[in-house]
Chains A and B, each alone.
Chain A
């Protein structure tokens, strides 16, 4: 680790950048349903980062929980809340699209 960056260093840097970008995008996405998708992408980025950092155990957990289970739970909750909230108070502050930092 003196001076010249190896390929692994470059990969780690790229993965860190990916994680930072998707995490920021997740924060700036206001609609929970979209946020779940961005969260899944963040999970994928984290799994990649853990793999590059030679932590395959953590990467596997992250892949299962962060990419599959958590977004699914959020999506199911959003769907249930939207359906149940039809008569009563309208759900959420804004189902709008001011995802300022989203990369698309």
Chain B
């Protein structure tokens, strides 16, 4: 497609979207207004289900089926990455060499790794009470583990990261979310309906099914992101192409000084 045709196509699409978006926005409640019809209904339902964090109640109770779809997207992308970035026949495993790290950097890592892991666990565990939840806490857990790579080197990260186990854990946790929904069907209600005892408001065990699904999502997201990054890191650092030549542990310095080929 020529450049002018592309620009014309873009302008047409942009005009349609601009008109439709403007029309859609005229019917919305005002930005930052005190009263919001959806908000009022959601908070009401949340209080009825004795969940302190409305967002978690929406994610894991009122609209849990949506969240199931989102978690499946993450599982799907982990599956896709593991299929695409697997080690092929022409590649072999490289032995990453130990890397010298500044003492201040490793001190930073040693001090902050446990704190970051604890923060992740806290945010997952309190998902039904305070801002955060399985997804946010899971991402924090996963990135916290990679402080080991920043503060030491890839060999240390590989030692503290059991990839095969996390691979399984990811799938099991994603499956657990699906199976927890069946609990509603067994109890004679709808799929993913909150049928567990609701407990006391604003305690760790309140909210019925919400903390359980939240924990499953936390495990799934945490292990999923670690596995995702593991495949990328393995391709970048832990693999060398079979026809030799390139060094595994050093990027070729063509960032700035390579002459532009075009």
A→B interface (CB under 8 Å): 1, 12, 33, 56-57, 60-61, 64-65, 68-69, 72-73, 76-77, 79-80, 82-84, 86, 90, 93-96
Contact = CB atoms under 8 A, between A and B. Distances in A.
Interface of B: 30, 32-33, 53, 55-56, 123, 131-133, 135-136, 139-140, 142-143, 146, 225, 228-229, 232-233, 235-236, 241, 246, 251-252, 254-256, 258, 260-262
Contact of B262 (A69, A86, A94): A94
A6 to B, nearest CB: 10
29 contacts: A33-B255, A56-B132, A57-B53, A57-B131, A57-B132, A57-B136, A60-B131, A60-B132, A61-B135, A61-B136, A65-B139, A69-B139, A69-B142, A76-B233, A77-B232, A79-B251, A80-B232, A80-B236, A82-B254, A83-B236, A83-B251, A83-B252, A84-B241, A86-B252, A93-B262, A94-B260, A95-B258, A95-B260, A96-B260
Closest 9 CB pairs of A and B: A64-B139, A56-B131, A60-B136, A76-B232, A57-B55, A90-B261, A68-B143, A80-B236, A76-B236
A101 to B, nearest CB: 19
B90 to A, nearest CB: 11
A84 B239 CA distance: 11
B235 A76 contact: yes
Contact of B133 (A33, A57, A73): A57
Nearest to B138: A64
B232 A64 contact: no
A86 to B, nearest CB: 6
